[in-house]
Amino acid sequence: MLRYATRRLLSAIPTLLILSAVAFFLMRLAPGGPFDSERQVPPEIAANLNRVYHLNDPLPLQYWHYLVGLLHGNFGPSFEYKDFTVTELIRDGFPVSLQLGGAAILLALIVGGTIGTLAALKRNAALDHLLMAGAMTGIAVPNFVMAPLLTLVFGLWLRWLPVGGWGDSGAEAVLPIVALALPQIAYIARLMRAGMVEVLRSDYLRTARAKGLPERTVLLRHALRAALPPIVSYLGPATAGIVTGSVVVEQIFQIPGIGRYFVQGALNRDYTLVMGVVMFYGTLIILFNLAVDLVYGLLDPKLRYE
């Protein structure tokens, strides 16, 4: 398994290089620049800024400078946040996004798994149709619609929860966590139902019941483990996407995470900040997918990595 993980990590290097090249040149194709603003900058100051940050160099040479810094673990300075490097901004924003995303994915796994299991046990019954209709609604309604609705109902009308900020009380985190988790609950519920329906019809579960095992043991020890691989496969990229911060949710609730920095960087043509978040996100995707493949070996003992 160690050799397999090493090969996967080595094969990720070309993927990250391609990702960096695509993101770099697409950012440069966007109109405007990092030092364009409503207030006109004197030409000599603009020329000095472009020279210092190598923005006057040909694009291939700019990309080479970026790769050299990347190999040294340096994402470069932020053009918008003058006193911070991109590494410092990611370091400050990632713990917030990690708390927010980790809580959301845990909530989605618990609630979605429970809903999917109940729907499978009551297959084709009224409860099954009701739960799956709710899951389809959760998939169809994006979080940039759900987040304002939650804010309106629970924050402004009922005044139960705060609608913005990020503090120590924990109450500020409830609405953004729920807004992030709702679409994932819907996806996990449908995946769990499909997996459980297939497993519940298998012969080895009939054998387990025939041996006199309690139904709870049959479901938790045998059926649930066999139904988890599709969910584990989905959780890899889903967890990476949530943990790196939802752009919309962090903007709506004014949460100082990576997603909010990414939006501000894109709006202000902060090339290095956008590139840093993209590379960080790409690395997380690769690591989470590798972790998913390794977990498969624990869920299915027949799987071996040659």
User: pLDDT tens digits for 147-167?
Assistant: 888 888 888 888 888 877 776
Tell me what pLDDT residue 119 has.
86
Tell me what pLDDT residue 39 has.
56
Please give the structure tokens belonging to residue 182.
Answer: 């709702």
From CA 243, how far away is CA 255, in angstroms rounded? 13
What is the three-class DSSP state of 302? coil
Regions of the chain with pLDDT less than 50: none
User: pLDDT tens digits for 165-183?
Assistant: 776 667 888 888 888 888 8
User: pLDDT tens digits for 100-129?
Assistant: 888 888 998 899 888 888 888 888 888 888
Tell me what pLDDT residue 226 has.
73
CB atoms within 10 A of CB 26: 11
Tell me what pLDDT residue 42 has.
65
Please, what sign has the CA dihedral across residues 125, 127, 130, 131? negative
Query: What values do phi and psi take at 102, rounded to 5?
Result: -65, -45
Tell me what pLDDT residue 162 has.
82
Query: What values do phi and psi take at 197, rounded to 5?
Result: -60, -40
What are the structural domains, with CATH classification, of the chain? 88-255 (1.10.3720.10)
Q: Is this model's pTM higher than 0.85 or not? A: no
Interior angle at CA 104, CA 102 and CA 107, nearest 5: 110
